[in-house]
Amino acid sequence: MSRAPKRVSDLMLPLRRGRARHDQAKQDNPALLAIWDVVARIPRGRVATYGEVARAAGLPGRARQAGYALKHMPHGMHLPWHRVVGAGGRIVFPPSSPSYREQARRLRAEGVDVTNGRVARAALLVLE
């Protein structure tokens, strides 16, 4: 079993030439880096809400920014995005979408109970 990375920079691959300038701008944004660092520390088999991720990144009240950071993470960054859910443990993607099915599949593969688009309350993590 591999250990969780300590910093988001451990997850970064060299940037491809065509996307380098756009991705570099994101990598230089301290708020996005803080969010990515928090997401990288969520342990396997546990989940955190977007609001909890934002709070732990020092951005209380900015749950939407946590969502933005995950949606716009640079190509080649391998974060456990599937471990972040909406308020109350709800998967935020539409139930018929490929993203919803992929998130539910990944969470179940880690032993998280997903029922009707919600994760078990026991899986929710309070981040520090």
Residue 15 has what pLDDT? 46
What string of pLDDT tens digits covers the 128 residues of the chain? 445 555 555 555 444 455 554 455 556 789 999 999 999 999 999 999 999 999 999 999 999 999 999 999 888 888 999 999 999 999 999 999 999 999 999 999 999 999 999 999 999 999 87
Residue 27 has what pLDDT? 65
Q: What CATH architecture is 19-123?
A: Orthogonal Bundle (1.10)
Q: Which residues of 18-52 are buried (b: 16+ CB within 10 A; e: fewer)?
A: eeeeebeebbeeebbbbbbbbbbbbeeebbbbbbb
